[in-house]
Chain A
Amino acid sequence: MSGPTTQSADAPTRRLAGLLIAGAGLAVLVVAPFTGLYTVFLMKLMCFALFACAFNLMLGYVGLLSFGHAAFFGMAAYATGHVVKEWGFDPFLGILAGAAVAGAMGLVFGAIAIRQKGIYFAMITLALAQMVYFFCLQVKFTHGEDGIQGIPRGMLFGLVDLRDSLNMYFFVAAIFVVGYAIIYRTVHSPFGQALKGIRENEPRMISLGYPVARIKVMAFTISAALAGLAGATKSIVFQAATLTDVHWHMSGEVVLMTLIGGMGTMFGPVVGAGVIVALQNYLATIGSWVTVVMGVIFVVCVLTFRRGIVGEILARLPHRR
């Protein structure tokens, strides 16, 4: 939430604090699987955290609500599943292929949708995502309702056996860190400043000579590729790519995660994903009531802490503003 002007004042201390936080985050990632927490749950959490962060890049920093991010998430999962299972790709190459497919889709979708703003943008992305959903329902390689099942986890670079859940965990953690770093770098670069500028005042950015449309399409492509990275990783973790991943529910879920955690913050989507995934996990026994519980949480969030969990904490910290 820091504006461009506040950064110069005490840059060294800020940098140090940033490094400390990053170090603590990494330590948590390394220690987490040894605390007795279920590794598959942690991996799922990281996949969704990355997905939410990628989504947040559009919503939080460009101010555009995409309601079709499940298309990138799910299509990448299918692409990865297909190349790994049918063509025998290495899991790493498979994930890259999935992210590349999502990125390419993002470029096309972005070019179409970016002409509009607000509700129209959301509707166009939703419509495109629904087209992808029905495409996935009909074509042969996705296996319709069955989905692609039994995707082998295989050997990473032919060396590391990913069937071992601890190896898989660190592989996913590495992907998450890289994805998160890319988003961090994007947001804290001149390009990121331009994005925030577009969010705050688009006509002014145009008058300053920024190629606004191109910047937006680029941001959309990066966001889509990273959402794809998350979906591709999930398909390797769960060894399945199914219609759930491309369904509009998934698009809705990621909006929920981002809003609950705090949009426009770096760490908010991670917290939001944690809350939602944990709820789904621990309330699974009550079946379809999970949706109701999540709905209530969403309403409470919007009514009482509109900035989201992390957003609210940041806003109350004394040294800011």
Chain B
Amino acid sequence: MKLAKSYFADQRKDDLKELGQGLQRSDVPGHVTGKTSYFADRHFPGMLYLKMVRSPHDHARIRKIDTSEAEKHPGVARVITHKDVPHNVYTILILIQVGPEDEQVLAEDKVRWKGEAVVAVLADSQRAAEEAAAKVKIDYEVLPAVLDIEEALKPGAPLVNEYHGQNYYMYDSGASRKVRFGDVEKGFAEADHILEQTYFSSPIEQAPTETTGCIVTPDGNDRFTCYTNTQAMFFTLDNTSIILQMPGHKLHMVGGTVGGGFGGKVDVTVEPIAILAAKLTGRPVSFIYSRHEEMQISSPRAAEKIVLKDGVMNDGRIVARQVWGYTDAGAYSRHSPYGAQKGAAHYPGPYTIPNVWVDTWCVYTNRTPSSAMRGFGVTIADFALEVQMDKLARLIGMDPLEFRFINAYRDGDMKAHRQETTGAALIECMQEASRLADWPVAEKYLQMSSYKGS
């Protein structure tokens, strides 16, 4: 890695002592010698292991849950169903007033995705828990499922989530988060060329080295300590407090070094049920996802569909950009309504375009709930935007890098969401890329600057 100090030198004082130094991380010797401890390194006498019984169907009505055989299995301490959960319907972002509550901690009347939690079995050993879980009998009536964005938005599509009432999230702005800037129709009318293209992505795993999990101990004073690898201690504490209807002062969350988190561990999926289990049994409880669960149950990055329509002039100026963005939330909101509207704020990318029209949707399907992941709301948008930029440049016979210089935003430019651009540095990044990769561009682009009035 090289620090290119010649750029923006007038905005920077290089007088730092401790910062700006590539000091070795104090935790690294522990990591590389195997001495760092993680939440799962703790062991407590009498600990119970939680195994979750999950839906084998994408969408089904639950007719009956029979746990009698499982309860008789040797080593089983307790079986937990929705009846044991004080506030069984939750949504994580209710803490910042993004509702409605739309997800059951343990499924009650319906399952809406393959893998949804229905019954929790607690036993003396992992093996006994798994054997007993296999004895839980659930009678399902299979329902038609919707598995992608386009199917979900068709008229007459099966309803995924009754708490929403339709297969998309309803914002205060309606079925989508909207950005309206200038007049795209006027822009298209003036354009020399119009290009409309559709982009897709499929979900991906978070794939952290350390799977999602927690270990809970009842502390004997009516408090519970939860050793967890959550990415957000108080998100977990406050959501647990709501779900278990337990005052926050009874909860103590202890984190530490986490073995990788890319957004999936901002979900609150293991702690509430493990703390409930510790409360009901009075014993320490371990609930740790297997690798199979981490891959198949924890939230992936959302699938997206993005339609971009651009009007471009022969001289390289983009005069209108229209965007329809769709995020596949899966069966429940989790963080997806927030991610979809992060996308609305991100378009039209780092370019100054006079006419912009954006609609982003958060769509419900009978898929594994997606959630936050590194680049949430932006990464797939950038794939679509920057492939589109390449197509537009070729359409008008222009070098793709020079085409970006022509449209790049600079300090003082008004963005589509009506914030003035400050601190821009796109032009300088492209100048350095041109030099680094020996990608020639005309001298006038190398003389450009992000500074206002330059």
Are chains A and B native binding partners rather than an unrelated pairing? no
